[in-house]
Amino acid sequence: KAGVTQTPRYLIKTRGQQVTLSCSPISGHRSVSWYQQTPGQGLQFLFEYFSETQRNKGNFPGRFSGRQFSNSRSEMNVSTLELGDSALYLCASSLAEVVAGRETQYFGPGTRLLVL
Amino acid sequence: GNSVTQMEGPVTLSEEAFLTINCTYTATGYPSLFWYVQYPGEGLQLLLKATKADDKGSNKGFEATYRKETTSFHLEKGSVQVSDSAVYFCALLIQGAQKLVFGQGTRLTINP
């Protein structure tokens, strides 16, 4: 079974631009979570989607948004990029049926975003 | 709140040495506990997990036991190899939310 895939793998943008990252979960997984990894803050939870609905959200500004499609693929968008948004963005998928919080998350390789 | 504290790194060992990476947690309810490993330039790989007290997770020679009384989930391996060099993350999954809370990571280097 194919793992979690993320595109693109690398991205360079300039301040003020916006960016969209894509994540395709493991087949059959309906929950997709996004995390930001930086050297200073470590791994931080952005949000989680299940059945096209945002179910949980972390403490990030409104510039960070996401969505999920009917095939469970997910995108996250960052608008008005800042230098501090440079990070590795990781997507994880899980079965996570109706009751969340018990399913193992499997991670993709990440998208490395550099903001200049 | 929910938090995970890991042993400060980096940790450098010789091949075939015994490894322990300490992890303690604070959580409301009964979280599931995980160890993930990250190799250079890659995402996170699940190493092992435990979903309730006294469960032992194991994989590739690594082990960790969910200790509720000490709120700990220490990672151990009896004989490390150069290929085990990576960053290791301890994490808890919050009950009722698909949200992982991670420790700060421990960089492990194994010298031949």
> Which residue in chain A is spatially nearest to B95 when comparing CA positions?
A101
- B30 vs A94 pLDDT, higher one: A94
pLDDT over 90 at B29, yes or no: no
Do B98 and A35 lie within an 8 Å CB cutoff? no
Can you list the positions of beta strands (E) in B1-112?
3-6, 11-14, 19-21, 23-26, 32-38, 44-50, 56-59, 62-65, 75-77, 86-93, 100-102, 106-111
Do B95 and A101 lie within an 8 Å CB cutoff? yes
Do A100 and B98 lie within an 8 Å CB cutoff? yes
Q: What is the pLDDT of residues A56-88, one digit of tens each?
A: 899 999 999 999 999 999 999 999 999 999 999
CA angle A4, B52, B23 (to 5 degrees): 75
Q: What is the pLDDT of residues A7-36, one digit of tens each?
A: 999 999 999 999 999 999 999 999 999 999
